[in-house]
Amino acid sequence: MLCRSTARLCLSAGAALCQSAARPSPSAGLRTSAVALAGPVGAEPPLELRPLNKDRSNPVPVETSIAYLQSAAYRATYGSEPVWRSYRRNHKGHIPPRKTRRTCIRGGQLSTGNPCPACRDEYLVLDYRNVALLRQFVSESTGEILDTSRTGLCQVKHRELLAAMTKAREYGTLAFDVPFRVYDYSEYKPSAA
């Protein structure tokens, strides 16, 4: 795992660890083909580290985001934890402000030094079809949508999340519990002939 000081680089553009492949040097006297140098057949391409991209003027399609959440780059960046777990807000003093900032993106560009978990990674799209991402913002024990005090999302992204959750419930992409309905059979019994 890369050290913390380069964490910002890690989280940009869906990039993650750079992999140092052990290549035999030409002077070692080994002769291998290009196929062998590429690694075992069927292996994923090596993950590369890219510089931070602040441009948010071209939104990523939701299908790309769904594929990203299953990819090795996502796994290397976030592991099995929710995307907001590693985020820490910067604020004066011991107690954070009640509300998070209004937005991290102004004029189509990241305009803050510590963007929220949904803004910093442009491949995380809050959409009703992106169930793997939406599930990370729902409490395991009570089924509630987590508050910004826990997730650290900016207000605009939090509202996008609420809209996506409402649509997910409408279209049934996200399963959720409903209250138990008690029937009064006397209302439905056929009247005695």
> Is residue 189 involved in binding other proteins (CB under 8 A)?
yes
Q: Give every CB contact of residue 135 below 8 A, 6+ residues apart in sequence.
A: 174
Name the segment binding other proteins (CB under 8 A); options: 29-37, 79-87, 109-117, 181-189. Answer: 181-189
Residues 91-120 that bind other proteins (CB under 8 A): none
Please say which residue, 32 or 142, places its beta carbon nearer to other proteins. 142
Within 10 Å of residue 14's Cβ, how many Cβ atoms?
A: 21
- Contacts of other proteins in 133-172 (CB under 8 A): 139, 141-144, 169-172
79 close to 10: Cβ distance less than 8 angstroms: no
Of 34, 94, 113, 177, the residue at the interface with other proteins (CB under 8 A) is 177
Question: Is the separation of the CB atoms in 56 and 124 below 8 Å?
Answer: no
Q: According to the binding rule CB under 8 A, does residue 188 interact with other proteins?
A: yes
Which range in 2-10, 49-57, 66-74, 177-185 contacts other proteins by CB under 8 A? 177-185
Instruction: Give every CB contact of residue 60 below 8 A, 6+ residues apart in sequence.
Output: 122, 123, 125
Under rule CB under 8 A, residue 70 binds other proteins: no
DSSP string, 121-170: -TT----TT-HHHHGGGB-TTT-PBPPHHHH---HHHHHHHHHHHHHHHH
Min separation Cβ 143 and other proteins, Å: 3
Selected binder of other proteins within 28, 41, 43, 178 (CB under 8 A): 178
Of the two residues 6 and 166, which places its CB atom closer to other proteins in the complex? 166
CB of 131 to other proteins, least distance (A): 9
User: Which two structure tokens, joined as six digits, stand for 110?
Assistant: 């990241």
The helix (H) or strand (E) run that includes residue 174 is: none
Enumerate binding residues for other proteins (CB under 8 A): 139, 141-144, 169-173, 175-183, 185, 187-190
